[in-house]
Amino acid sequence: MTILVVGGSGFLGTEVVRQSLAAGYQVAATYLTRPTDIAGTAWHAMDIRDRQQVADLVTAIKPDMVINAAFQKADWASSADGAAHVAIASVDARLVHVSSDAVFSGTAIRYDEMSVPDPTTPYGAAKAAAETAIKAISPTAVIARTSLIIGDGGSRHERRVHALATGRITGVLSTDDVRCPVHVADLTAALLELASSDHAGIHHIAGTDAVSRHELGTLIARRDGLDTAALPAGQRADSNLPGPVDVRLDCTMTQKRLRTKLRGARQFLNGHTISTIE
Ligand SMILES: NC(=O)c1ccc[n+]([C@@H]2O[C@H](COP(=O)([O-])OP(=O)(O)OC[C@H]3O[C@@H](n4cnc5c(N)ncnc54)[C@H](OP(=O)(O)O)[C@@H]3O)[C@@H](O)[C@H]2O)c1
């Protein structure tokens, strides 16, 4: 079984590569700017904005499965056009595309897999456009929306908490900005499980706990032995930041289909041993 991890050099992509190797797959993975050296993986430079490059690579590798974890938040061509290029090139493979809770405005707060996107930011709009393109090109593909992705120290969210707690940067963690963070190991296990299934369409893969950015920061700081009192709190509603404030992915339908247990942040940041399968 050959799997191609598009965006394998990213935070999520790296974990997908690791778990795919552990599952015994032949693993090919792509990077744009950060060549990576995980042994046992065939690494390829690829820019998903280039339709021909994507087609040529997929034709050369002939993967059974493709996981697309590539994106650039501020670049429509990578997040939307690039996702369509991957879907077109992967019509003969099992495609799992990673999307985001940013496709929602937060007006309804709680969103299940049937909810219709109503993005309010360019990033959210690009992710929603990608979803529409993929559904049209490849109705059997899985589109997996997720929320803040947390690891064991390596995510951008954890790095920001460390920088705030140690005074290396200024800023606040909002007490009213709520998401359902997921552990990268749980998310990856769920993506690979869906890749091996015959499920299609929209799936929600997020944690079971809705927590504010400030509570998330406090959980991370406590786990990592940092001074939780040093974390500055604020109100997102008082800022001029665009985008949704409170978005909670309801994963009930998706969780019923999975053996992988999607833990909440209060559990996976509480010193519990990582265990993705119940
Ligand atoms: N992180 C979160 O909290 C979060 C929340 C919700 C949804 N998501 C979704 O989860 C997925 C993965 O996120 P992540 O945090 O793992 O991202 P990341 O660490 O920023 O990695 C992004 C990956 O995309 C690659 N890439 C960027 N532009 C590309 C292009 N034009 N062509 C080819 N590859 C390109 C990067 O390559 P190089 O690094 O080699 O340049 C990297 O491998 C994305 O779909 C994102 O929308 C993430």
Which atom, in ligand 1's list, is nearest to the CA of 68? Answer: 45
> Would you say residue 278 has pLDDT above 50?
no
The string of pLDDT tens digits covering residues 161-175 is: 999 999 999 999 999
Give SS3 for 89: helix
Ligand 1 near 212 CB (within 6 A): no
Query: Structural domain boundaries of the chain?
Result: 2-147+183-208+249-262
Band (pLDDT 50/70/90 cuts) for residue 273 is: very low
pLDDT the model gives residue 271:
64
pLDDT the model gives residue 37:
87
Neighbours of 240 (CB within 10 A): 4
b/e per residue, 79-118, with b = 16+ CB within 10 A?
Answer: bbbbbbbbbbbbeebbbbbbbbbbbbbbeeeebebebebb
pLDDT the model gives residue 41:
97
- CATH top-level class of 2-147+183-208+249-262: alpha beta
pLDDT the model gives residue 276:
33
Q: For the chain, what is the mean pLDDT?
A: 95
The string of pLDDT tens digits covering residues 29-67 is: 999 999 888 999 999 999 999 999 999 999 999 999 999
The string of pLDDT tens digits covering residues 180-200 is: 999 999 999 999 999 999 999
Which atom, in ligand 1's list, is nearest to the CA of 34? Answer: 40
Neighbours of 148 (CB within 10 A): 19
Ligand 1 near 188 CB (within 6 A): no
Which atom, in ligand 1's list, is nearest to the CA of 48? Answer: 32
Question: If DSSP states are collapsed to H, E and C, what string results for 177-221?
Answer: CEECCEEHHHHHHHHHHHHCCCCCEEEEECCCCCEEHHHHHHHHH
**What percentage of residues in the chain have a pLDDT greater than 90?**
94
pLDDT the model gives residue 239:
85
Give residue 217 CA to ligand 1 midpoint distance, Å.
Answer: 22
Return the ∠ at Cα 253 (arms to 247 and 255), rounded to 5°.
90
**What percentage of residues in the chain have a pLDDT greater than 70?**
97
Band (pLDDT 50/70/90 cuts) for residue 79 is: very high
- Residue 221 corresponds to which tokens in the numbers above? 């700081």
Crossing angle of helices 122-137 and 82-89, rounded to 10°: 20
Nearest residue CA, atom 11 of ligand 1?
A: 69
Neighbours of 272 (CB within 10 A): 11
Give SS3 for 261: coil
The string of pLDDT tens digits covering residues 229-269 is: 999 999 987 888 889 999 999 999 999 999 999 999 999 99
Band (pLDDT 50/70/90 cuts) for residue 86 is: very high
Return the ∠ at Cα 87 (arms to 81 and 90), rounded to 5°.
140
Neighbours of 252 (CB within 10 A): 9
C-beta separation of 49 from 77 below 8 A: yes
The string of pLDDT tens digits covering residues 87-143 is: 999 999 999 999 999 999 999 999 999 999 999 999 999 999 999 999 999 999 999
